[in-house]
Amino acid sequence: MTHPLRAILWDMDGTLIDSEPAHEAAFFSALTEAGLTVPEGLHAELLGASGDTVFAALRRTTETAMTLTQWTDLKHRHFERHARAITRLETAALAEQLAARGVPMALVSNSTADEVTFCLRATGLDTLLTTVVTRGDVANGKPAPDGYLLAAQRLGVAPGDCIVIEDSRTGATAGHAAKMQVIYHPQVPDARPLPGAQYLAPGLPIAPLIEAFLGTPALT
């Protein structure tokens, strides 16, 4: 990076909000209703994956006769039941500060439009992040760069002037593929190298990195 960057592209689940417990509970509740079992550890392997990728894994590991639409509807119904588990993370307060300073921001998620809308409204972030790209907006979900490139286009910012903030390797890979600066800030430690991303261990403050990338005054 040779100049301050201009825009921030946020992931949602696990980055701005802690919705992963709700997603996990909905996943297993939906499996139970459908009478399906999956290999141990499959859900963890699919962290950050899009709904169609998850469904492909179900088709590969079970004998389900459901369609993608049926699975999506079933899982979303259970997701709404577990919505009380959704909370804001500390990064949401940073997003509010950056918005007040006029920093262009967008949200890019592998979740469906229904799930993203539901989560943003449930956490009061719907008025803060008005440029939103969901899985249905692009041909290819993360780890493909499509979502991040579309978000930059909608903001009118060059990809090289964007910071991507992600908690999953899937999303961080997408940001790197879009030729953007990436902060990879997972919720659990990850010792595996991820080329093209700035790794920030769980529990460490992210504000100094954002300040350095943007060249902004200190965030609190």
Indicate whether 29 pLDDT > 90: yes
Distance CA 140, CA 202 (A): 28
Pairing between β-strand 87-88 and β-strand 132-133 as defined by DSSP bridges: unpaired
CA dihedral (172, 132, 26, 93) positive or negative? positive
pLDDT of residue 3: 62
Indicate whether 135 pLDDT > 80: yes
pLDDT tens-digit profile of 56-81? 999 999 989 999 999 999 998 998 88
Positions annotated as catalytic residues are 11, 13
Domains of the chain: 7-19+87-214 (3.40.50.1000), 20-84 (1.10.150)
pLDDT tens-digit profile of 89-129? 999 999 999 999 999 999 999 998 988 999 999 999 999 99
Distance CA 117, CA 119 (A): 6
Distance CA 74, CA 90 (A): 31
Q: For residue 1, what pLDDT band results from cuts at 50, 70 and 90? A: very low
Distance CA 121, CA 129 (A): 11
pLDDT tens-digit profile of 82-96? 887 799 999 999 999
pLDDT of residue 213: 92
Q: For residue 186, what pLDDT band results from cuts at 50, 70 and 90? A: very high
pLDDT of residue 12: 96
